Amino acid sequence: MKDNIKSLEDFAGHLEEWVKVLKLSDENPFKIRAFEKATQTILDKATKDNCLHQAPKAIKGWPAVGDGIAKLYQDYLTGQSAIDLTVFIKSLPEGLIEISEVSGLGPKRARQVVSELGVDSLSTLLHACREKKLARLKGFGEKLNDSILKQVTFMLSTRGSVGLGAVVAWMDKASIKAKELGYELYSIGESTEVSETYSALHVGLVGENHLIPDARTLGGELGCAVHVKLLPEPPVKDVKGFTALEQSVSVRGVFHSHTTESDGRNTLQEMVEASQALGLDYLGVSDHSQTSFYANGLKPERVMGQAADIQSLNCSVQNFRIFSGIESDILADGSLDYTAAELETFDFVIASIHQRYSHDKVKMTDRLIAAVSNPYTTFLGHWSGRLVLGRLPYDFDREAVLKACAKHGVILELNCNQSRLDPIQKELRLAKKLGIMISLNPDAHSTEELEDLRLGKILAQAVGYPHELIFNTKSLTEVEDYFALRKRHRA
């Protein structure tokens, strides 16, 4: 359980909030960079060196931590910095924070749109896009105007909705509370169907009590409408939350996990221990590759260091295996990070796109097929780039890419991190029809996010994906044999 006392890791998160608003205020870039460096130092000390609690004077003198950051830490502990941050945010132009979160804008362009066009909300930004006003701004153009129009339309259409992860967490809490009140809780109506997003949740209660408890009493705030109804008897379709779907898929291990070597929040050791606690037999570590410099991606020499750490840890753990992998960026031409010789050192490679989302359908399709055709690609990661309620997928030929996966024996990742849930169910059904192997990958950047694996189980079972086509239902021996066979085929 997390310590209730404010920790250095909490302070690092607070600094990240300061960095975000400072960028929106057009603050001196040197000050922003200083905050970013201090944030990274403090996060490293908290996660890698396990320095959870320190006195403000003790952190002064750490790399990039001077008097100003030490004073800010003191103010954070007393609560003053949170007050100052709130005041600072209120000083920003109305709507700027919301507008900056539109994919394709960012702080600099958001400031430009607000100052030059006078927009103050997503709604007024939508109107400006429809009138092609953004296209006339310096550095924008019609293509970016239309891309932002699509993104803003999407964001407005999903207001008042929440993702599957939030609904599952709410149902967990509500089921426990309902039992305390003498009820059994059921999903009813349209909520009996699994969805990646929900604009409303419908639940029914069966029990002796005839008082309808408030939705907040059951599971707390959810973020979308929750309709609670008393039922005289259990519904014909007996749906008690998501437990049955989750328990029907037996997963033996996970791939796609990040550590503090790149942008993860927990060490390799901690990720291994958390995986073992979940009853898993193996963990595939795949930190970011060198092109993802913003995520502290690994240069070749750091790859070698991590491989040595994994080998050492494998010698000390029992009945468990850590696989050494990488999440390699798919570059603009479809090639992967690193040389062939460097890629050969990994047990597995997840090929993913992290930038240049604006390619047209033909170019994006060619880019993905080129990556899938690479003999070192084991998994195709978060294939559409979508973010749940946050970013639209890029345009590409789904069936053509799936057929390329089938041809080259590439496993399609079902990225079950609650912020992604990619592919969606419609795409999973197409993959199932084509007999594509999938893997339920949590894209975990912390020990807690390993538990997003359950969302993958729910989605896979919802579309009836055959267990024999779910890669991480395989035993450790089967996975080891699979990776060894792929290496032999490349030789």
Report pLDDT digits (tens) over 18-47: 999 999 987 888 899 999 999 988 888 877
For residue 423, give the nearest of 106, 127, 196 by alpha carbon: 196
At 213, the pLDDT band (50, 70, 90 cuts) reads: very high
| Among 18-27, 269-278, 286-295, the range of highest mean pLDDT | 269-278
Residue 52 pLDDT:
73
Asked whether residue 177 falls in the same domain as residue 296, the answer is: no
**CATH number for the domain that contains residue 132:** 1.10.150.20
Q: Tell whether 58 and 18 lie within a shared domain.
A: yes
Its pTM stands at 0.83
The verdict on 261 and 220 lying in the same domain is: no
Q: Are residues 152 and 225 in the same domain?
A: no
Claim to verify: residue 478 and residue 414 sit in the same structural domain: yes
**Residue 241 pLDDT:** 61
- If asked whether residues 105 and 144 sit together in one domain, one would say yes
- Please tell me the predicted confidence (pLDDT) of residue 95: 92
In a domain, 3, yes or no: no
**426 in helix, strand or coil?**
helix
Question: Residue 184 sits in which domain range?
Answer: 162-241
Task: Count Cα atoms within 13 angstroms, Cβ side, for 431.
Answer: 30
Q: Examine the domain organization and report whether 383 and 437 are in the same domain.
A: yes
Helix or strand (DSSP H, E) at 42: helix 29-47
Residue 213 is assigned to a structural domain of this protein: yes
Pairing state of beta strands 162-163 and 348-352?
unpaired
Q: How many domains does the chain have?
A: 4
Q: Is the pLDDT of residue 129 over 80?
A: yes
CA atoms within 13 A on the CB side of 260: 22
| Boundary residue ending a domain (53, 69, 91) | 91
Pair (196, 134) in one structural domain: no
Same domain, 116 and 167: no
Which of 104, 130, 157 delimits the end of a domain? 157
DSSP H or E stretch at residue 126: helix 122-130
pLDDT for 2? 43
Residues 35 and 111 in one domain: no
Residue 329 shares a structural domain with residue 222: no
Q: DSSP for 363-405, please give it.
A: HHHHHHHHHHHSTT--EE-STT--BTTTBPPPP--HHHHHHHH
Does the structure show a pLDDT above 60 at 3? no
Please count the other Cβ atoms lying within 10 Å of the Cβ belonging to residue 216: 10
pLDDT of residue 358: 83
My answer on whether 299 and 430 are in the same domain is yes
The residue among 241, 261, 276 that closes a domain is 241
pLDDT of residue 1: 37
* Domain assignment of residue 287, yes or no: yes
Say if 281 falls within a structural domain: yes
